[in-house]
Amino acid sequence: MFRRVWRTPYVRHVRNLSIVAEGSKASRVAAVVPATFLAAGLGSFLVSDFKAARTDSSVKRVAIYGGAFDPPTNSHMTCASEIVHSGCADEVWLVPCGPRPDKPKLKTPALDRYCMCQVAVNTVFSPEFPIRVSDIDTRREMAAFTYDLLCSLRDEHPGVQFTFVIGSDWLQPDTNIASWQSLNFDWKPGMPEKDKFIVTGDKLLREFEFLVIPRPGFDVPRTAADPTGLKAFGPRLQWMKMPEDFHFIEGNLSSTEIRTRTRVESCKGGNLQPIEGLIPPGVLSYIRRRELYYK
């Protein structure tokens, strides 16, 4: 299910944050996002299902911006907004990944990361700005492989053209999207472990669009036969280009840096000045309320 937490632009009273969820998730969310986390003056929220339907018959282009978002930073918000400003997509959906057993360093619960993304989007952007947060992966027991995730989105939202956002660091000699794997859904206990996964990178490159964001230090060679430099990687890759005389605004702030700064001595007791100005204020309040990273 795709959900959008709508923020009222002017609020006179801070009220409880109520999130509609299915089954036992409601109690989990209530425990994770208590009303007092709004004490910093974030406003009140109303949760409703986001309706993907458009008033016209054109195909909606949605850019999928995936990641751990542990936590979401100002750079994440800037990148998402620049994708919208580029005109390469009608909407951007942030998709925080689900639990990753293969990444033991990812210790923050998926639900916390999802909530931080919602808080970030709804305190940085206006309700009309086309950036949303999807819980399609955080409600899984294990994060989906990229091809499986995009197939699930395609099944849930027929008629939407999905584009997967990657950085040019994924187009380097030591990386190969065509070798990416997925779960083999035909695998059963007792079958060889090597058959538990199958290569689907070739199908991923054939069936979905890719929006490539240039990253400093990760250039892609271009030739006369391939002026974009992208044909060598797949048939449906395109560079993100800014319109008019716009210049792409980027930042090198990573979630890793935020987590590192919260471990310094000055952060003990919830003094998070080392990360102020680097993440949305609402996310800062959430981290403090949940005592994430610095404990």
Q: Which domain holds residue 81?
A: 2-290
Residue 173 one-letter amino acid: P
For residue 256, give the CATH number of its domain. Answer: 3.40.50.620
Q: Residue 84's pLDDT is what? A: 98
Asked if omega into 71 is within 30° of 0 (cis), the reply is yes
CB-facing half-sphere around the CA of 187: CA atoms within 13 A? 13
Residue 66 lies in a domain: yes
The predicted pLDDT at position 251 comes to: 86
Q: What's the pLDDT score for residue 57?
A: 52
- Residue at 12 is within a domain: yes
Q: What is the pLDDT of residue 252?
A: 86
The count of structural domains within the chain is 1
210: Cα separation from own chain's centroid: 15
**How confident is the model over 95-136, as pLDDT tens digits?**
999 999 888 889 999 999 999 999 999 999 999 999 999 999
Q: What is the pLDDT of residue 30?
A: 41
Buried b (16+ CB within 10 A) or exposed e, 250-288: eeebebeebbebbeeeebeeeebebbeebbbbbbbbbbb
Spell out, as residue ranges, where the chain has pLDDT lower than 50.
Answer: 1-56
Does 295 fall in a domain?
no
pLDDT of 10 = 28
Q: What is the pTM of this model?
A: 0.81
